[in-house]
A and B are shown apart, each in its own frame.
Chain A
Amino acid sequence: MTPAFIERLALRLRASGITACEYEEAGARLRLRIADDVPTEAHAVTPPGAAGQTPALLDPIRVRATGRLHFLHPSRGFDIPPEGAAVTEGQIVGFLGVGEVLSALTAHRAGVLGRRLAADGELVGFGQAVQELR
């Protein structure tokens, strides 16, 4: 089971209008769910604090994988909350793309989204702060 295989499977599901599937092979089990409002993976981490910083900078939303940041879903419309919007814990605030595979970037706690610290389409690395969260 490779990322390319999962990507093909996701595309087939989407094309056929199927919203969920489970797949098993030796030692691995995959559950895919196509939905706009369910995060597939939590990517936010809580960084160590630093004296003298504002709460938003103390605890911004960070990615914990390497990839290309998307504040818009590249293949279809998806409502990403804008700066200033209130978000709940686990709410999708962006996507991280590696090739055609996207993972959801979610808020690690409830709060109000602040300034975006990385641009749409930017290559981001592990631990990078991408949006303030007040």
Chain B
Amino acid sequence: MFDTVLIANRGEIALRVLRACKALGLKTVAVHSEADRALRHVTLADQALCIGPPSARQSYLDIREILLAARLTGAGAIHPGYGFLSESAAFAEAVEQAGLVFIGPSAQAIRRMGDKISAKAAMRAAGVPCVPGSAGALPDDLTNIEALGAAVGYPLIVKAAGGGGGRGMRIVREARDLPQAVALTREEAARAFGNPEVYLERFLAHPRHVEIQVLADAHGNAVWLGERDCSMQRRHQKVIEESPAVGIPREAIARIGAQCVNACLQIGYQGAGTFEFLYEDDEFFFIEMNTRVQVEHPVTELVTGVDVVREQLRIALGERLSLDQDQVQQRLQMCGHAIECRINAEHAWRFTPSPGVVRDWLAPGGPGIRVESHLYAGYEVPPHYDSLVAKLLAHGADREQAIARMRVALEELVIEGIDTNVALHQDLMREPGFVRGGFDIHHLEHYLAGRVGQEARA
């Protein structure tokens, strides 16, 4: 097996992976760009190697350089973190072909789940509910497309098979707009994703985003680790995540969780993964699977006590999952409520990125508070990458306590020198819709629009 893990990522997730490796007695290699020499995990790793200039394309996305670094440092496995190459089937394949272990699912599984049409087909075959829509890619013939549209009903949404993160989709409210919407989405999809295939499905007007975390090993064991409600979003980017999801019956969650486990076993999935669903009118509808560790995985860790990254590493080492579904269920009944606020280096209300030197950094503490961050006083947030600089988590016996702890933690948190969205989180922790819970994915956009309206009237 392997005793050295190359961490092919940066920022807080690289530090998170490094800590998990060290706790398991594994050696670490940090590969980084020129802009990231001062990252905390680079200092803490057993070996560090600069692999390119700041541009992600020439560093964190450069498969050849990463594999070369693995060869030169003697790393036996590569952890891709999230983002960058984490869901690249080509990267996973190249790692496998180099005789190394990719800490994640097989290239085949990534490829299958990365294509929305094949992913939905696999989910339907495994009994996981999907949004009603076309069975596969839309045909060329317009009459057939119009017939499919009529069968699904309006409003509907046309989506690119290779899309994701809110890109490559178009809402169609009337039948007469369908031909043009299909043509435009195909054109955009070909340009943006290199795959012109599109499909259509029912448009859900007020869904919540609820996802199921799974783990599966190479010995035919798989578990689901509860759900996360990630409905607090802006432009399809999650801002706050929590678990459990308010107001959804536990039996319904257990049913969908079991279906996800079944799907993992049917497709031969290994590693950590997340099944994302839209939830509306008491029904779950599968939207996509993320074949990697998620940004928000600590929410699940707080309510289950399972170290997701440690499990990823153990699975890659060929070991069995450290717990079964019964043990997970027992923990879920006892483990309270967790909330995560994503702290971004951006203006709280204008959302403009704010790179620069962090003059002061003081992390909050106290019962139930967890901080995942690579920040320190004097660190310079580079302008080249994602603006996420910290994840602040609060855990409590119930949601009320978790929110109360989060409010205190946000007050305590000191980040000087750069703009952050802490003020937005402070507002949201007292916003009636959030405090009530059970809001849909449009809630934050409406809240922000209302705030702008109030300011204009004042």
Contacts and interface: CB of A to CB of B under 8 A. Distances in A.
B382 interface: no
B45 to A, nearest CB: 12
A66 B29 CA distance: 14
A84 interface: no
A70 to B, nearest CB: 13
Interface string A117-134: 000000101111000000
A98 B53 contact: no
Contacts of A67: 72
Given A66-B50, A66-B65, A127 B72 contact: no
Contact of A127 (B48, B50, B65, B69): B50
B49 A66 contact: yes
Say which size band chain B's interface belongs to: 10 to 19
Contact of B72 (A68, A126, A128): A68
B52 A126 contact: yes
Contacts of B49: 66, 123, 125
B343 interface: no
Interface of A: 66-68, 98-99, 123, 125-128
A97 to B, nearest CB: 9
The 5 closest A-B pairs by CB, nearest first: A125-B50, A125-B49, A126-B50, A127-B34, A126-B52
Contacts, number: 32
A57 to B, nearest CB: 16
Contact of B51 (A68, A98, A99, A126): A126
27 contacts: A66-B50, A66-B51, A66-B65, A66-B68, A66-B69, A66-B72, A67-B72, A68-B72, A98-B68, A98-B71, A98-B72, A99-B71, A123-B47, A123-B49, A123-B72, A123-B73, A125-B50, A126-B34, A126-B50, A126-B51, A126-B52, A126-B53, A126-B59, A126-B65, A127-B34, A127-B53, A128-B50
Chain A contact surface mostly: loop
Contacts of A125: 48-51
A72 to B, nearest CB: 19
Contacts of A99: 71
Contacts of B68: 66, 98
A126 B60 CA distance: 13
Nearest to A128: B50
Contacts of B72: 66-68, 98, 123
Nearest to A47: B34
A98 B52 CA distance: 16
Interface in B39-70: 47-53, 59, 65, 68-69
A98 to B, nearest CB: 6
Contacts of B34: 126-127
Q: Which of A67, A68, A123, A128 has the most CB of B within 10 A?
A: A123
Interface in B415-457: none
A92 to B, nearest CB: 21
Nearest to B34: A127
A125 B69 CA distance: 9
Contacts of A98: 68, 71-72
B48 to A, nearest CB: 8
A67 B49 CA distance: 10
Contacts of B69: 66
B410 to A, nearest CB: 37
B304 to A, nearest CB: 38
A62 to B, nearest CB: 10
Nearest to B48: A125
A98 B71 CA distance: 9
Given A66-B49, A125-B48, A126-B34, 4 more contacts: A98-B68, A99-B71, A125-B50, A126-B51
Interface in B57-93: 59, 65, 68-69, 71-73
